């Protein structure tokens, strides 16, 4: 495993841990400013849309796992295919379980850190 692949896998683990603990600042720092998220039934949204969605769930408990199925690095670009299993428990109401694949494109920034650039999320 290369150093870049190790860093990307660590990014995925950090993202999942930050989601669980509600650490929005850490998650936002792992995104390129021009990030785009694509999810079923919705127009693509960027960093501010992600932040709004995250903040709307501030009272929910999030628990999940991400398993990197594939990781490929080509220079300052990389892509990963993950399988995510996620449970969101809102303050009111039953838990919501989502599971599925994501395809993520990452870009290495000038500071040498990998950041999410595009993310296609197929959780159902």
pLDDT confidence of residue 30: 98
- Average pLDDT of the segment spanning 27-34: 98
Q: Which domain covers residue 54, as residue numbers?
A: 3-121
Distance of alpha carbon 32 from alpha carbon 106, whole angstroms? 9
What is 61-104 written as a DSSP string? EEEEEEEEEEEEEETTEEEEEEEEEEEEE-SSS--EEEEEEEEE
This prediction has a pTM of: 0.94
- Average pLDDT of the segment spanning 86-91: 95
pLDDT confidence of residue 35: 98
pLDDT confidence of residue 50: 98
Dihedral sign computed on CA atoms, order 84, 107, 10, 44? negative
CATH number (domain holding residue 57)? 3.10.450.50
Per-residue pLDDT of 34-65, as tens digits, reads 999 999 999 999 999 999 999 999 899 999 99
pLDDT confidence of residue 17: 98
Phi, psi of 77 (to 5 degrees): -125, 150
Distance of alpha carbon 61 from alpha carbon 59, whole angstroms? 7
CA 83, chain centre distance (Å): 11
Counting the structural domains of the chain, the total is: 1
- Average pLDDT of the segment spanning 30-34: 98
Coil, strand or helix at 117? strand
Alpha-carbon dihedral angle through residues 12, 102, 45, 43, given to the nearest 10 degrees: -170
């Amino acid at each position: 495993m290369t150093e870049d692949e190790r860093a990307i896998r660590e990014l995925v683990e950090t993202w999942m841990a930050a989601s669980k603990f509600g650490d929005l600042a850490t998650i936002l720092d792992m995104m390129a400013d021009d990030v785009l998220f694509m999810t079923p039934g919705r127009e693509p949204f960027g960093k501010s849309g992600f932040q709004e969605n995250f903040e709307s769930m501030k009272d929910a408990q999030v628990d999940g796992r991400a398993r990197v199925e594939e990781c490929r690095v080509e220079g300052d670009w990389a892509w990963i295919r993950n399988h995510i299993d996620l449970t969101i428990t809102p303050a009111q109401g039953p838990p919501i379980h989502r599971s599925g694949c994501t395809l993520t494109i990452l870009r290495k920034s000038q500071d040498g850190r990998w950041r999410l650039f595009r993310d296609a999320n197929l959780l159902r």
